[in-house]
């Protein structure tokens, strides 16, 4: 009797353990290794899992252990570097490794992988059958030939039987030769086919790109300093103003990694906004460049993953431009990771688990891959400034713009004062209108920013004061106008109701509260009838082609005024953009969050960086009702770095991140009272352990989303040697609470909430 062989398997589920399975009797244990994909039964369903350990000693009664269904021959094994990253992410973000596996290998991707493997298998079987029948045919002819020759041998020389048999044998010999030739040909074709199916479709552009990147003297100094940082094995933070040539430096570093035969991962917060960057990289790196993000089809993402795998054997090198999910590709021999716009909060995944931050996960990956990593931004996050201040990362600065160093002028317009003087026309102040007209007259382009999309962010009844709300979320509905009338939509759950213009309660007319991008566009069209105007926000950018076209038209000068949301703060480069205006900066400052000032400053700095490129002085206009806010003085006096210093000091005093780590525990329940009760009980349990470090339970600003009521608890942990055990205690207490009160599935943990 052979001894049973046990393995543990990672399933794409929120499971705290990795279940144990045996192999079907007769399976060669040596054939199953860590990382292999296996089909297993679990709780009445079948899953595609990943072998995490082999030769394990089962903790349960061996007779109760189920056998795997099969080893998934066609699916590529997960490599050790991937598994290591999954473990670290799960450990850091307090989720299960299965949840990370699920994010790395979404079902769609696995299904495609499976169907491809199945198709290959089917074709193989078909071929084999055909070949078998051909072999059978050859054998049968051989048999016939043998018999004929025997008959001939047995007959006497010269007899008719003998002559006829010999003639027939000659004919059969010909037939045999033809059959054998066909078989040889088929076998050759088949083995060629197998060889090529092992390679994938990806074609690497061979050779090193020929275009030379020439750095300016300042860039060269920064570059040398970056290399020094890499030599010390430190992550480098490149703080460079917009237009200083950070991208140029990344490209040079990437090119070097590639020429050493190592691979490059270039991370961006959102791919939609990186079209210009993609074109620039494509021009330089050609076919070596691959993009990867959640907007791509599962098939295209699988192809990228397979191409990357195939490069391991072919020795070609690649550069992937992608969003955070590209961290989970089967990377091998990475030489460099670039984290562009590292401060951007889009790097953080809020839901579902793993609630990871792409920037911080990139740092983990760089350690696993033993590769260099560079983070870049014009407005570094406080986290990064902290890392540089305490010597964990190396700070490299680029203060000059490549095409000349003229900072744009800033003008703050007090909308309250303007309103009193009747200087406002809708959302535009008279002063802003004048600036826009002057810019257009000179042939310059204008960008207008408004942080709320829609026509009106909220509505209110003129009669009874009712504000239409989403039936599923505790938020007001926004009005989106269309040629057919309009829709009231919820920006949280996408609920939609037809807009009638009347109040659902009393029937009186609804008036709009505030103006969103759509309305600003309408106002601008009326104010500047000659101008060509376009809008870019997540409503219009639904279609990729529209967005690409808009950006392209704007950069070619075919659009005069571009109106949009935060989207426009990202790395576009428009050389004729002379005026950037923020319609209302109040919306940026009003947030009840300790990060509000940091984010507002970053956003305003980013907007400002858009205007006046290519040696031309631009103008940055901010409309606000709080002109006295310190943020504007800082901005005007170019004291952004002082401001960051004072923010850091504030964070230190109040023990906020980056001086501490926040873990947010959120209770979600269909019943408001149960959410309240459970959050209260969980809070008590956690408070026993964490005392004053805990705040809450509190009701978040939006306390109901998609029919679930929310209560939150925050625990802030010091960054000392008890940090890890503190985090694990939270996890342990939450799991115990879920079990004891039979309350699974309602609690989420978020490490470093944004
Ligand atoms: P950043 O990424 O810091 O915003 P970019 O790399 O996009 O800056 O540079 C801004 C502009 O200056 C781009 O149009 C770029 O082509 C140009 N530029 C910067 N450095 C160089 C260089 N060394 N040689 C040629 N052009 C450069
Ligand atoms: Zn809703």
3-class secondary structure, 535: strand
Residue to probe by mutation, ligand 1, list 213, 215, 573, most atoms within 8 Å of CB: 573
Instruction: Out of 89-98, 225-234, 343-352, 592-601, pick the least confident.
Output: 592-601
Instruction: Out of 62-76, 640-654, 667-681, pick the least confident.
Output: 640-654
What is the percentage of the chain residues whose pLDDT exceeds 90?
55
Q: How far is the CA of 706 from the centre of ligand 1 (A)?
A: 45
Q: Which residue has the higher pLDDT, 76 or 567?
A: 76
Q: Strand 424-425 and strand 660-669: pairing?
A: unpaired
Give the pLDDT of residue 288. Answer: 92
Cβ(465)–Cβ(511) below 8 Å:
no
Instruction: Out of 271-280, 682-691, 740-749, pick the least confident.
Output: 271-280
3-class secondary structure, 247: helix
> How does pLDDT run across 464-517, given as a tens digit for each residue?
999 999 999 999 999 999 877 899 999 999 999 999 999 988 989 999 998 999
For the whole model, what pTM was predicted?
Answer: 0.84
Q: Which ligand 1 atom is nearest residue 249's CA?
A: 6
Q: Which token pair is 532?
A: 């060509």
- Sorting pLDDT into bands at 50, 70 and 90, what band is 200? very low
Q: How far is the CA of 704 from the centre of ligand 2 (A)?
A: 8
Distance CA 458, CA 514 (A): 7
Cβ(693)–Cβ(716) below 8 Å:
yes
> How does pLDDT run across 588-621, given as a tens digit for each residue?
776 667 788 888 888 888 888 777 656 677 899 9
Distance CA 619, CA 600 (A): 19
Distance of alpha carbon 255 from its chain centroid, rounded? 24
Cβ(616)–Cβ(406) below 8 Å:
yes
Residue 198: is its pLDDT beyond 60? no
Give the pLDDT of residue 16. Answer: 87
Residue 197: is its pLDDT beyond 70? no
Which residues does ligand 1 sit against, CB inside 6 Å? 214-216, 219, 240, 242-248, 402-403, 573
- Sorting pLDDT into bands at 50, 70 and 90, what band is 192? low
Residue to probe by mutation, ligand 1, list 213, 238, 240, 402, most atoms within 8 Å of CB: 402
> How does pLDDT run across 51-60, given as a tens digit for each residue?
999 988 888 8
- Sorting pLDDT into bands at 50, 70 and 90, what band is 415? very high
Q: Which ligand 1 atom is nearest residue 219's CA?
A: 23
Look at ligand 1, atom 19, and give the residue with the nearest C-alpha. Answer: 245
Distance CA 428, CA 426 (A): 6
- Sorting pLDDT into bands at 50, 70 and 90, what band is 158? confident
Q: Which ligand 1 atom is nearest residue 242's CA?
A: 4
Q: Please, which residues have CB within 8 angstroms of residue 514's CB and are 6 or more apart in sequence?
A: 452, 456, 457, 458
Residue to probe by mutation, ligand 1, list 245, 342, 376, most atoms within 8 Å of CB: 245
Residue 494: nearest ligand to its CA?
2
Q: Which token pair is 610?
A: 């858009």
């Amino acid at each position: 009797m052979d001894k049973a062989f046990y393995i543990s398997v990672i399933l794409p589920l929120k499971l705290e353990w990795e279940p144990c399975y045996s192999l079907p009797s007769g399976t060669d244990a040596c054939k199953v290794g860590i990382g292999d994909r296996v089909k297993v039964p679990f709780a009445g369903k079948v899953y595609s899992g990943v072998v995490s350990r082999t030769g394990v000693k089962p903790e349960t009664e061996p007779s109760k252990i189920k056998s795997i269904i099969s080893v998934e021959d066609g699916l590529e094994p997960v490599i050790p570097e991937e598994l290591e990253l999954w473990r670290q992410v799960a450990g850091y973000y307090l989720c299960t490794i299965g949840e990370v596996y699920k994010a790395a290998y979404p079902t769609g991707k696995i299904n495609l992988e499976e169907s491809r493997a199945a198709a290959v298998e089917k074709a193989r079987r078909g071929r084999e059958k055909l070949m078998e029948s051909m072999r059978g045919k050859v054998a049968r002819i051989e048999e016939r030939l043998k018999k004929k020759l025997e008959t001939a041998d047995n007959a006497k020389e010269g007899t008719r039987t003998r002559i006829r048999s010999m003639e027939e044998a000659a004919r059969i010999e010909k037939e045999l030769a033809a059959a054998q030739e066909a078989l040889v040909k088929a076998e050759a074709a088949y083995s060629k086919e197998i060889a090529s199916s092992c390679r994938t479709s990806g074609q690497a552009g061979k050779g090193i790109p020929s275009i030379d990147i020439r750095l300016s003297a300042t860039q060269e100094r920064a570059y040398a300093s970056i290399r020094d940082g890499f030599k010390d094995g430190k992550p480098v933070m490149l703080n460079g103003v917009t237009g200083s040539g950070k991208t140029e430096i990344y490209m040079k570093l990437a090119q070097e990694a590639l020429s050493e035969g190592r691979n490059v991962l270039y991370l961006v917060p959102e791919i939609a906004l990186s079209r210009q960057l993609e074109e620039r990289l494509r021009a330089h790196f050609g076919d070596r460049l691959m993009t990867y993000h959640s907007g791509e089809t599962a098939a295209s993402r699988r192809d990228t993953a397979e191409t990357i795998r195939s490069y391991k054997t072919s020795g070609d090198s690649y550069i992937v431009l992608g969003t955070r999910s590209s961290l989970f590709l089967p990377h091998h021999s990475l030489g460099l990771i670039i984290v562009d716009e590292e401060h951007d909060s889009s790097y953080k995944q809020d839901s579902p688990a793993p609630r990871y931050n792409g920037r911080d996960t990139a740092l983990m990956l760089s350690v696993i891959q033993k590769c260099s990593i560079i983070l870049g931004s014009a407005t570094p996050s406080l986290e990064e400034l902290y890392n540089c201040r305490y010597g964990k990362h190396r700070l490299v600065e680029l203060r000059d713009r490549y095409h000349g160093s003229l900072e744009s002028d800033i003008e703050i317009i007090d909308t309250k004062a303007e309103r009193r003087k009747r200087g406002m026309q809708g959302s535009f102040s008279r002063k802003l209108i004048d600036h826009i007209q002057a810019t257009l007259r000179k042939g310059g382009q204008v960008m207008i920013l408004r942080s709320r999309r829609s026509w009106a962010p909220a509505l209110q009844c003129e009669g009874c004061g009712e504000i239409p709300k989403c039936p599923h979320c505790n938020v007001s509905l926004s009005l989106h106008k269309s040629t057919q009338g309009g829709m009231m939509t919820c920006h949280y759950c996408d609920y939609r109701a037809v807009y009638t213009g009347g109040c659902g309660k009393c029937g009186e007319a609804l008036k709009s509260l505030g103006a969103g991008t759509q309305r600003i566009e309408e106002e601008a069209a009326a104010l500047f009838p000659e101008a060509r105007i376009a809008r870019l926000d997540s409503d219009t950018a639904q279609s990729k082609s529209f967005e690409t076209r808009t950006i392209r038209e704007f950069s070619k000068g075919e659009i005069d005024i571009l109106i949009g949301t935060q989207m426009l703060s990202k790395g576009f480069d428009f050389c004729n953009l002379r005026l950037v205006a923020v319609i209302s900066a109040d919306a940026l400052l009003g947030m009840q969050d300790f990060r509000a000032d940091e984010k507002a400053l970053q956003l305003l700095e980013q907007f400002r960086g858009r205007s006046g490129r290519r040696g031309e002085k631009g103008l940055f206009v901010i409309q606000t009702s709080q002109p006295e806010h310190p943020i504007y003085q800082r901005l005007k006096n170019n004291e952004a770095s002082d401001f960051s210093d004072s923010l850091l000091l504030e964070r230190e005093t109040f023990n906020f991140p980056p001086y501490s780590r926040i873990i947010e525990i959120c209770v979600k329940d269909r019943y408001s009272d149960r959410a309240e009760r459970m959050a209260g009980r969980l809070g008590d349990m956690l408070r026993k352990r964490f005392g004053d470090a805990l705040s809450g339970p509190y009701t978040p600003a939006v306390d109901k989303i998609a029919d679930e009521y929310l209560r939150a608890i925050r625990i802030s942990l010091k960054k000392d040697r008890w940090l890890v055990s503190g985090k694990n205690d939270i996890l342990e207490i939450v799991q115990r609470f879920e079990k004891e009160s039979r309350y699974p599935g309602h609690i989420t943990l978020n490490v470093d909430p944004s």
